[in-house]
Amino acid sequence: MKKAVYPGTFDPLTIGHLDIIKRAVKLVDELHVVVADNYKKKPTFTSEERMEMIKRVTHDVDNLVIATTNDLVVRYAEKNGIHLMVRGLRNIQDYENEYALYQFNRNINRNIETIILFPSSRNHFVSSSAIKELVVHYADISPYVPKEIIKEVQERLRPKSSESI
């Protein structure tokens, strides 16, 4: 059985993430979407909330495992017999970060390969941080966030007072 892991913070999940998930599941028998916290970021949603959002949006995908880890993703892969990591690459900054991460992962486990999936042209600029800024300023996020989670994202991120309007 060919398995892969697609890790991310998914805070919140975007249509760019969903695009990568739906394309990656076609390449393997089982795709593990792993919510992994980045120590540099302070997440808006808990790991459990992010996993639940992913489940809601991907309920129609059969060969998907949704999990979370506090460890390195490369170790999650080792523990779960996964030899392929899927990463999305939007721009040159992503390239630099992903290339460094790839080198660290290869030093930890040379048996785990990384493949890059590029976003579709309509998603190449979509990021979770941009979504957060749009919500705070009451802009429409429907082109960028799966419809199943828009309300939840707005409720969590919008200012509680009207002074920001």
Domain at 38, CATH number: 3.40.50.620
Spans in the chain with pLDDT lower than 70? 161-165
Domain presence at residue 148: no
Domain presence at residue 40: yes
Domain presence at residue 60: yes
DSSP character for 2?
-
pLDDT at residue 161, as a whole number: 65
Residues with catalytic annotation?
A: 17, 41, 90, 128
Domain presence at residue 132: no
pLDDT in tens, 37-68: 877 778 999 999 999 999 999 999 999 999 99
Could you tell me which residues come within 8 angstroms of residue 92 by beta carbon, excluding any fewer than 6 positions away? Answer: none
- The length of the chain is 165
Domain presence at residue 144: no
Cα–Cα distance measured from residue 62 to residue 25, given in angstroms and rounded to the nearest whole number: 9
Could you tell me which residues come within 8 angstroms of residue 130 by beta carbon, excluding any fewer than 6 positions away? Answer: 144
Domain presence at residue 156: no
CA proximity to 57, closest of 87, 25, 9, 13: 13
Share of the chain above pLDDT 70, in %: 97
* Total domain count, the chain: 1
pLDDT at residue 162, as a whole number: 55
pLDDT at residue 6, as a whole number: 98
CA proximity to 113, closest of 72, 83, 87: 83
Cα–Cα distance measured from residue 150 to residue 152, given in angstroms and rounded to the nearest whole number: 6
Tokens of 15: 């249509």
How far is residue 12 CA from its own chain's centroid?
8
Domain presence at residue 134: no
**Domain that residue 75 falls in:** 3-121
pLDDT at residue 78, as a whole number: 96
Tokens of 26: 């076609």
Domain presence at residue 158: no
